[in-house]
């Protein structure tokens, strides 16, 4: 049995990745390592928490001794690293929290892997013959490390880094650390950079769940600037599938972009969301458009992100399972059917769940 640590497994993307691994790796022990900060929520995983190949460990990646205890307990064969501070607005007001978690936390994990795994520096760039790969450090990152695009073009795996916010700079630094450990120590690694995720269990500080919540409660829908910022959107369950497939099938030392093969300006996205929400809530068409509120732009706001995920499609055959409109509909349905979850998240009651379950 392999022991696989997934960091940040109680978060939005992490919980879907944990579920994907638990369901599809019955012969592996999946260790969910999460500090349960504000966006970590064990209620995301109630459906698999009693599975025999799943265990939760509360630990903070910024605390090396906490990590050491878990490494000594499980001696992991692989680490899938998702734990991160990830909200751009928060990084602007508190950049050191992002540097500590995203840079120092990643370094702590890499150092423990270097200590516990037998590495061969001759395997430069973290590339191992497939039949000899016994360990893997899979680092999950973001397309924001590439900076901002103009009106045309796409981010490739070879695009030069140009981070524009403390968040994206901290993720860029962590990407470089992972590759440096591969080059210097022979650490077997893979990096993936994804576009904006959406779907069930998304913490309501982000655009789509925030707008869903605010439409339900007839509150303003804040739109930065002129609303023409453009993003590629990826359904989180498709992202989890991609991570699992890359983990199992990709060569070490590689980088993969993961995208939804679509682009939406923020204002068009919100109008599509309003259209579907009003229909599902039984409101007259366009009823919630009056809630659109343009607000002052944030500093360092990247104009456009667009992912070219052709490498992942060509090499591994992965592609999204739903269109954006379909995925958005599934997301809205989930929030409407799980209003209690949303209330717990916004009230902080979900933190009591951990104490009830594990104390």
β-strand partners of 142: 194
167 carries an active-site annotation: yes
* Active-site residue identified among 54, 167, 181, 229: 167
pLDDT score, position 130 = 53
CB of 135 closer than 8 Å to CB of 113 = yes
Instruction: Name the residue among 298, 331, 294 with its Cα closest to residue 220.
Output: 294
pLDDT score, position 351 = 56
CATH of domain 2-358: 3.40.50.720
pLDDT score, position 211 = 95
Q: What's the pLDDT tens digit per position in 7-17?
A: 999 999 999 99
Task: Look up tokens 């590689």; give the residue.
Answer: 254
Q: Is the pLDDT of residue 80 over 70?
A: yes
43 carries an active-site annotation: no
Domain-wise residue ranges, the chain: 2-358
Q: What's the pLDDT tens digit per position in 14-42?
A: 999 999 999 999 999 999 999 999 889 99
* Active-site residue identified among 34, 60, 85, 144: 144
Binned at pLDDT 50, 70 and 90, residue 203 comes out as: confident
Q: What's the pLDDT tens digit per position in 148-189?
A: 898 889 999 999 999 999 999 999 999 999 999 999 999 999
Residue 226 CA: distances (Å) to CA of 164, 274, 354: 19, 18, 41
C-alpha to C-alpha distance for 51 and 24, rounded to whole angstroms? 12
Sign of the torsion formed by the C-alpha atoms of 84, 124, 162 and 251: negative
The pTM assigned to this predicted structure is 0.92
Binned at pLDDT 50, 70 and 90, residue 354 comes out as: very low
CB of 205 closer than 8 Å to CB of 242 = no
2 DSSP 8-state letter: E
Q: Is the pLDDT of residue 121 over 80?
A: no
* Mean of pLDDT values over 203-230: 91
The backbone torsions φ and ψ at residue 339, rounded to the nearest 5 degrees and listed phi first, read -65, -30
57 carries an active-site annotation: no
100 DSSP 8-state letter: I
Q: Which two tokens stand for residue 144?
A: 């924001």
* Active-site residue identified among 20, 34, 143, 302: 143
Q: What's the pLDDT tens digit per position in 249-270?
A: 999 999 999 999 899 999 999 9
pLDDT score, position 209 = 93
Q: Is the pLDDT of residue 193 over 80?
A: yes
């Amino acid at each position: 049995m392999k022991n696989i640590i997934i960091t940040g497994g109680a978060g939005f993307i992490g919980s879907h990745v944990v579920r994907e691994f638990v369901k599809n790796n019955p012969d592996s022990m999946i260790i969910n390592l999460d500090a349960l900060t504000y966006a970590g929520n064990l209620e995301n995983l109630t459906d698999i928490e009693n599975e025999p190949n799943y265990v939760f460990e509360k630990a903070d990646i910024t605390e090396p001794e906490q990590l050491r205890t878990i490494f000594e307990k499980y001696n992991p064969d692989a680490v899938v690293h998702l734990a991160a501070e990830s909200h751009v607005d928060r990084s602007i007001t508190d950049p050191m929290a992002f540097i500590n978690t995203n840079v120092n936390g990643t370094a702590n994990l890499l150092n423990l892997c270097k200590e516990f795994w037998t590495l061969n520096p001759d395997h430069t760039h973290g590339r191992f013959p497939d039949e000899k790969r016994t360990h893997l450090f899979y680092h999950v990152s973001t397309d924001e490390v590439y900076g901002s695009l103009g009106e045309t073009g796409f981010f490739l795996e070879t695009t030069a880094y140009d981070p524009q916010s403390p968040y994206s700079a901290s993720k860029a630094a962590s990407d470089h650390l992972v590759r440096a450990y591969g080059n210097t120590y022979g650490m077997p690694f893979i990096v993936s950079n994804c576009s904006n995720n959406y779907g069930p269990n998304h913490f309501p500080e982000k655009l789509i769940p925030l707008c869903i919540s605010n439409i339900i409660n007839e509150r303003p829908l804040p739109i930065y600037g002129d609303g023409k910022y453009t993003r590629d959107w990826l359904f989180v369950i498709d992202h989890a599938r991609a991570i699992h497939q890359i983990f199992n099938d990709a060569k070490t030392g590689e980088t993969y972009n993961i995208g939804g093969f679509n682009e939406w300006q923020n204002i068009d996205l919100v109008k599509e969301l309003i259209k579907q929400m009003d229909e599902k809530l039984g409101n007259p068409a366009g009823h919630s458009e009056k809630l659109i509120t343009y607000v002052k732009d944030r500093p360092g706001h990247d104009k456009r992100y667009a992912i070219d995920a052709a490498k992942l499609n060509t090499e591994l055959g992965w592609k999204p399972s739903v269109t954006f409109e379909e995925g958005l509909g599934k997301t809205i349905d989930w929030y409407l059917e799980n209003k209690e979850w949303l209330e717990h998240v916004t009230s902080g009651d979900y933190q009591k769940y951990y104490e009830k379950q594990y104390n």
